[in-house]
């Protein structure tokens, strides 16, 4: 089935094939001009943006598929691949802009090759570009819809379990109170179950909302200078109550975390404190979930950046999953309950700070999660 939205007449198609063939001759010059325009564009298009790089390659590929005259394959390809280049709103906008820059780069070569019929060439190209933009938009909306559906389903599904516990134990308490069979001990146990479920629901909602906010690209960083060692301490002590229920010890730069860590060397960096606290908190909370006896947080200060690592002695992550766990909703099969949104959030937090988030695992010996953050940030981001 053709994905064409603005229909192309046989004449349009004939001319487009001719244009594609003519432009192939100037491939190198156009590529050079296109690069120059990228550099000059003020919208923050980055050469390093992987999506843009892939997109540029794809445009060339598409050009060749056009010179074969296979329009269906051309549009299908945009429909299928378009979404790979537009995972976020910003990337999508970059994609449209880069397409525009491509048009601009080809313009002088079109003039050279088609001086006598420039008007009809531009009109025909317009038809084609409208198709491309419309197909990209359709692919983007389709993906967003899928994403939203998944988001709602996962949230609803994850909230159901703790809610069932809350309702179940409340009903039990009501029934036992009515019949006078609720002992003080049982009351204490049931209330704790209810509270724990409530806390779990709050965490779920909180992390899901945060993920949504980061994903929407609407998050503007609030940059300040702070002590990263303190952040690690704060994130870990927040989770200490959980850790205390289990025999797991938390160490930060070799200091065992109890109520207070004395003598920790400050590690000053600039960034969004709240986000970094969440990112580090995410790593530590995952580590606590999987560790058997210890979690080690280390801060390594270097010239330009700081490397934070969170190591646990848990079950580790199978090598074929290590690259996938930072993907949206990804959870290793057979793992502990979760949402699969924590690590993608950490990666977005790292990206927002021009840093990097990744993991390493030595089979069954546990895993280490890394977060590299530059010490300085441009303010007014
Ligand atoms: P969640 O923890 O809510 O499932 P995350 O995105 O934080 O979501 O983690 C994704 C998956 O990565 C987890 O489901 C788990 O399979 C794996 N994972 C994360 N941290 C660890 C860890 N410290 N040890 C082993 N597996 C981990």
Predicted confidence (pLDDT) per residue in 289-310, tens digit: 999 999 999 999 999 999 999 9
pLDDT at 177 (0 to 100) = 96
pLDDT at 222 (0 to 100) = 93
pLDDT at 40 (0 to 100) = 78
Per-residue pLDDT, averaged over 261-281, amounts to: 90
> Which whole-number Å values give the CA distances from 119 to 19, 101, 111, 125, 336, in the listed order?
13, 19, 10, 10, 62
Per-residue pLDDT, averaged over 99-109, amounts to: 89
* Residue 119 predicted with pLDDT over 60: yes
* Residue 277 predicted with pLDDT over 60: yes
Q: Under DSSP, is residue 204 helix (H, G, I), strand (E, B) or coil? A: helix
Q: What tokens were used for 115? A: 């001086």
- Residue 370 CA, ligand 1 centroid: distance in Å: 14
To the question of pTM greater than 0.85 for the whole model, the response is no
For the chain, the average pLDDT equals: 86
Q: Supply the residue whose CA is at minimum distance from atom 8 of ligand 1.
A: 340
Report the alpha-carbon distance of residue 207 to residue 192 in Å, rounded.
22
Cβ count near 316 (within 10 Å): 20
Q: Supply the residue whose CA is at minimum distance from atom 4 of ligand 1.
A: 338
Report the alpha-carbon distance of residue 158 to residue 169 in Å, rounded.
18
Which of 122-126, 246-250, 354-358 is the least confident region?
A: 246-250
pLDDT tens-place string over residues 199-218: 889 988 888 888 988 988 77
Cβ count near 54 (within 10 Å): 14
* Residue 257 predicted with pLDDT over 70: yes
pLDDT at 60 (0 to 100) = 64
191-196 contacts at long range (C-beta below 8 A, 24 or more positions apart): 193/165, 193/169, 194/165, 194/166, 194/169, 194/170
pLDDT at 2 (0 to 100) = 55
The better pLDDT of the pair 117, 34 is held by 117
Q: Supply the residue whose CA is at minimum distance from atom 19 of ligand 1.
A: 286
- Phi/psi region, residue 217 (left: phi>0; alpha: psi -120 to 50; beta: rest), is left
- Tokens 């058997």 belong to which residue? 292
- Tokens 């038809």 belong to which residue? 127
> Which whole-number Å values give the CA distances from 93 to 98, 212, 240, in the listed order?
9, 19, 43
* Residue 321 predicted with pLDDT over 80: yes
Residue 179 makes CB contacts below 8 A (sequence gap 6+) with: none
Length of the chain (residues): 381
Residue 338: name the closest of 208, 212, 166, 196 by CA. Answer: 208
| Band of residue 58 on the pLDDT scale cut at 50, 70, 90 | low
Determine which helix (DSSP H) or strand (DSSP E) holds 358, and give its type and residue range.
Answer: strand 356-361
Q: What tokens were used for 242? A: 């959980």
pLDDT tens-place string over residues 328-371: 889 999 888 788 899 999 999 999 999 999 999 987 889 999 99
| Band of residue 381 on the pLDDT scale cut at 50, 70, 90 | very low
Which DSSP symbol is given to 257? P
* Residue 145 predicted with pLDDT over 50: yes
Q: Supply the residue whose CA is at minimum distance from atom 16 of ligand 1.
A: 332
* Residue 95 predicted with pLDDT over 90: no
Ligand 1 neighbours by CB, cut-off 6 Å: 282, 286-287, 290, 312, 314-315, 317, 325, 330-332, 335, 338-343, 367
pLDDT at 283 (0 to 100) = 97
Q: What tokens were used for 43? A: 């919208």
> Which whole-number Å values give the CA distances from 82 to 74, 93, 127, 134, 135, in the listed order?
11, 12, 18, 11, 8
> Which whole-number Å values give the CA distances from 220 to 332, 349, 353, 372, in the listed order?
31, 11, 11, 20
pLDDT at 304 (0 to 100) = 94
* Residue 254 predicted with pLDDT over 70: yes
End-to-end C-alpha distance for the chain, whole angstroms: 44
* Residue 44 predicted with pLDDT over 60: no
* Residue 72 predicted with pLDDT over 90: no
| Band of residue 148 on the pLDDT scale cut at 50, 70, 90 | confident
* Residue 245 predicted with pLDDT over 50: yes
pLDDT at 135 (0 to 100) = 86
Report the alpha-carbon distance of residue 216 to residue 144 in Å, rounded.
10
Per-residue pLDDT, averaged over 60-87, amounts to: 73
pLDDT at 364 (0 to 100) = 81
* Residue 311 predicted with pLDDT over 90: yes
* Residue 253 predicted with pLDDT over 60: yes
Q: Supply the residue whose CA is at minimum distance from atom 26 of ligand 1.
A: 317
The better pLDDT of the pair 380, 110 is held by 110
| Band of residue 323 on the pLDDT scale cut at 50, 70, 90 | confident
Cβ atoms of residues 228 and 276 within 8 Å:
yes
Q: Which of 201, 335, 344, 359 to mutate to test the pocket of ligand 1 (most atoms within 8 A of CB)?
A: 335
User: Dmax of the chain from CA atoms?
Assistant: 97
pLDDT at 157 (0 to 100) = 83
Report the alpha-carbon distance of residue 375 to residue 261 in Å, rounded.
23
Q: Which residues pair with 361 in a beta bridge?
A: 367
Q: Would strands 356-361 and 223-227 be described as parallel, antiparallel, or unpaired?
A: unpaired
Question: In terms of DSSP H, where are the helices of the chain?
Answer: 10-24, 27-40, 50-67, 71-81, 89-114, 118-179, 184-215, 228-244, 273-290, 342-352
Report the alpha-carbon distance of residue 18 to residue 66 in Å, rounded.
9
């Amino acid at each position: 089935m053709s994905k064409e939205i603005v229909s192309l007449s046989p004449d349009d198609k004939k001319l487009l094939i001719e244009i594609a063939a003519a432009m192939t001759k100037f491939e190198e010059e156009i590529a050079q001009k296109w690069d120059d325009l990228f550099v000059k564009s003020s919208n923050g298009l980055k050469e390093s943006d992987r999506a843009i790089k892939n997109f540029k390659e794809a445009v060339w590929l598409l050009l060749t598929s056009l010179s074969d005259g296979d329009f269906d394959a051309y549009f299908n390809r945009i429909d299928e691949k378009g979404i790979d280049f537009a995972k976020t709103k910003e990337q999508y906008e970059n994609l449209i802009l880069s397409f525009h820059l491509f048009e601009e780069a080809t313009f002088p070569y079109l003039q050279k090759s088609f001086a006598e019929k420039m008007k009809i060439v531009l009109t025909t190209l317009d038809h084609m570009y409208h198709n491309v933009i419309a197909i990209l938009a359709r692919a983007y909306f389709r993906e967003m819809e899928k994403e939203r559906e998944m988001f709602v389903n996962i949230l609803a599904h994850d909230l159901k379990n703790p809610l069932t516990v809350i309702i179940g134990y409340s009903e039990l308490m009501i029934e036992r109170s009515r019949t006078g069979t609720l002992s003080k001990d049982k009351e204490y146990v049931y209330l704790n179950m209810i509270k724990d479920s409530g806390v779990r629901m709050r965490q779920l909602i909180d992390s899901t909302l945060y993920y949504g906010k980061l994903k929407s690209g609407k998050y503007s960083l609030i940059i300040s200078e702070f002590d990263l060692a303190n952040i690690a301490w704060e994130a870990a002590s927040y989770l200490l109550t959980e850790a205390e229920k289990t025999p797991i010890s938390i160490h930060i730069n070799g200091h065992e975390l109890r109520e207070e860590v004395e003598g920790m060397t400050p590690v000053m960096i600039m960034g969004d404190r709240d986000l970094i606290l969440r990112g580090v908190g995410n790593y530590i909370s995952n580590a606590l979930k999987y560790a058997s006896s210890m979690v080690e947080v280390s801060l390594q200060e270097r010239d330009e950046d700081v490397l934070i690592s969170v190591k646990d002695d848990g079950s580790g992550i199978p090598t074929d999953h290590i690259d996938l766990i930072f993907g949206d909703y990804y959870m290793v099969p057979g793992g502990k309950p979760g949402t699969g949104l924590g690590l993608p959030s950490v990666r977005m937090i790292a990206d927002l700070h021009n840093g990097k988030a990744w993991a390493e695992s030595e089979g069954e010996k546990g895993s280490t999660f890394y977060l590299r953050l530059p010490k300085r940030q441009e303010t007014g981001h």
